[in-house]
Amino acid sequence: MKTLCFTLFIVVCSLVISPVHPASGHTGPGADRVIHAAPANQAMKIDGRLDEKTWQQGAYSRDLVERKPKLRQTPPVRTYFKVRFDHEALYIGVWCEEDQPDQIQARIRTRDSFSLFSDDTLSVKIDSAHDHRTTLGFAVNLAGGRIDYLSVNEKGMRTEYDTVWQARATRFEKGWTAEFRIPLEPLGIDPRHPPERLGLNITRDHARRSATYDWAVMAPPLTPIAASHYGHLVGLTGIAKLKGVEGKRPSRLGNLTVSPYGIAGFERLEANDDIGFPWDIGVDAHARLGPRWRSELTINTDFAQVEVDNRVVNLSRFGLFLPEKRDFFLRDHELFSLGRPESAQLFHSRRIGLNQGERIPIATGIKLTGTPSPGTRVGLLEVVTRPAHGQPWTSNLVGRVMHELGGGSNVGFMFTDRRSLESPGDNNLVFGIDGTSVSSRSPLLFSFFALSSYTGPDATRATEEVDSSGATVAAGTYDNSIGLDLQWRGELIRPRLGYAVYGEDFRADLGFFRRVGVHQSTVGFEIEPRIEKHGIEKLTWDIWADTFLSIQGSEVLDNVLGTEFAVRLDAGFSIRAFAHVGTVSVLEDFTVGSDTTIVADTYGIQRFGVGFNTPFTWDAYIDINGHIRDYFGGQLVGGWTGIVLKPSSLFRLEVGAEVGQVDFADERPDFLSAVVNGRLNIGFSPELSLDLYSGYNHLRNETLMQGRLRWTYRPGSDLFVVYQHNLEDDKTTFQSLLFKAQLYWQ
């Protein structure tokens, strides 16, 4: 019966997805925004001046449109741009007029800081796959600060994604200009077979007004990275006719890039607390295999330069989701995505090379992606890890096929396979399908997924990181999980429905599932009237209900009703409040802090809180929140705050703190939970920066400190010096001092 229901679910969802418009053509928002790229016909110097002859020729784009605070209004200052190309790169030149040039803000000088968007900033967003889902973003300000990021389905900006590109900005009499050079290779463009069109948007953040302007306006509830509503860049077929490209004989191995690295330094040995002298070498390589396929190889991978995670405290009974930060796994991240992000996703790459915070050495990794036919994308990922921390030699294999149906709609198939190379019965295989139906003509969005898992007879118990519900999944078991979501994304009203069931024996060792063995249903309604007068930009009110049932459907485990209200002002201030009421069930005892046990029972909950933030464009930005709530038979009073100080383009300080005092009326001990994270960035230049981090966890009485010096001595090539030190139980411990050199060669 369970298999029959699973099959019927797949059939029904596939029928819902199928009647969409073909991939050709685009008639929704952004369709009227089209710009033609032209050949540069000369050598380009990326200095931001836009004084080459090619920039003086041809028509400019249409002006940008205001997104906030006055939606779809004409901005008080003009912004326009042009696009050029040669056989290696795209070039975007942007002119930003400013009626008060002395008020232009440029305080962020380093790479990959979201604080860049508090300055006067220009952003280029490209949907190079033209799948209406994926954004590669590039932004720059007048101080030379830059950020590049990857986004899929509007789910955040992954700044850990790094690629090779250039941008510079400079002032002129009426404002400022910016110039971008974005190579074709990271965009996935073969110069012999360029696309007819790709998605494009240009965004300007205007700090003096706390305003944002778009070429193709991103009206709420769309996020700034809604690729389905971008305008179009056309004329790129001319790349194939350029000298050096036309008539060029295709090679089996094209556009080869190689990034070797070497690492050496000092490291504390856990076995005897002595100091070791580690050293290692490795290489990453990328190559285009003909016009439709790309490959990536990593050997003896090391991620010593990656920033440490912020210290966090977990007061819940479920695991925490931590984001991926490693380049190898972030590239093509959009292709290997299936499920509900951060709660029920089939593939979470942090499962590879990391186990309960310990690093597992990666021996080799290979990735192959391609488009064997128009609209169809294929990906294969295989990573082999070495034995460490009780883990055997392990093969981690992921495969994906996705077919684009047009306008952002798609269907796909995916599988993951974790398999011990030492014990054949220690394995976990999961396969499934998913789909999304979205139309540029309608705000209705429908998505679904259906998964089946098989766990081998000798498989070890899933760790808390894999199966965060704490459920024990027996070896040699098979089970299913399904989910569907329906949203109406209107500008004023936004109802939503969601349902999922996660089988009791379902397990995905390479994924992240917060709970298994439950039915989950969600219903919500959001309304957001735009006031746009009396200094008020908009009001937002959201009400929702979230219910969990036992897998048999006979018992209500959790039932929570919530509401949230927010007011946003034109100047950038925001005020918000929330309230949650309901009941939750703890199925197994668990421990928080050092010795406080939460016993299995059903608990009533009431939560109330308020929050406030200043404009993000201020030199001192503050976001402060306070709340009081029931906590498993006790009471928690606390809050969290974030502070960003930007006194100049040289320094930036970010501090975040979360504090909660928990008191119980019974014999259980009260405790204080406190976490503080601080990051000081010193930007000596856009190519040379020093990042200092310190994180404190009160419950564990530990402090972690890291210093990271990065020098980009040429595009794509970096030198890192990384120092790490721990303080635990009043004992200071040196961890490591590592030197890493990485070279980019093409």
Task: Label each residue of 179-225 as H, E or C.
Answer: EEEEECHHHCCCCCCCCCEEEEEEEEEEHHHCEEEECCCCCCCCCCC
* 10 pLDDT higher than 60: no
Task: Indicate the DSSP class of residue 391.
Answer: B
In a domain, 489, yes or no: no
pLDDT of amino acid 474:
56
In a domain, 181, yes or no: yes
pLDDT per residue over 469-520, tens digit each?
434 455 668 999 999 999 999 999 999 999 999 999 999 999 999 999 999 9
C-alpha span between 88 and 237 (Å, rounded): 13
151 is in which domain, residue-wise? 33-241
C-alpha span between 480 and 497 (Å, rounded): 21
Q: Which two tokens stand for residue 556?
A: 């209500």
In a domain, 339, yes or no: no
pLDDT of amino acid 4:
46
How long a stretch of residues is the chain?
Answer: 746
pLDDT of amino acid 564:
97
In a domain, 593, yes or no: no
In a domain, 144, yes or no: yes
CATH of the domain at 236: 2.60.40.1190
**CB 257 within 8 Å of CB 185:** yes
Ranges 253-262, 273-282, 609-618, 717-726: which has the least confidence: 253-262
Count of domains for the chain: 1
The terminus-to-terminus CA distance of the chain in angstroms comes to 56
**CB 125 within 8 Å of CB 308:** no
pLDDT per residue over 420-442, tens digit each?
999 888 999 999 999 999 876 78
Reduced to 3 states (helix: H, G, I; strand: E, B; else coil), residue 655 is strand
In a domain, 150, yes or no: yes
CB atoms within 10 A of CB 607: 17
Reduced to 3 states (helix: H, G, I; strand: E, B; else coil), residue 236 is helix
Tokens 């440029």 appear where? 106
In a domain, 641, yes or no: no
Task: Indicate the DSSP class of residue 467.
Answer: B
**Strand 34-36 to 231-234 pairing:** parallel
C-alpha span between 155 and 212 (Å, rounded): 20
**Strand 89-97 to 442-455 pairing:** unpaired
What percentage of the chain reaches a pLDDT higher than 70? 90
In a domain, 687, yes or no: no
pLDDT per residue over 584-632, tens digit each?
999 888 888 777 888 999 999 999 999 999 999 899 999 999 999 999 9
**Strand 38-39 to 79-85 pairing:** parallel
Average pLDDT over residues 572-591: 93
Average pLDDT over residues 363-388: 90
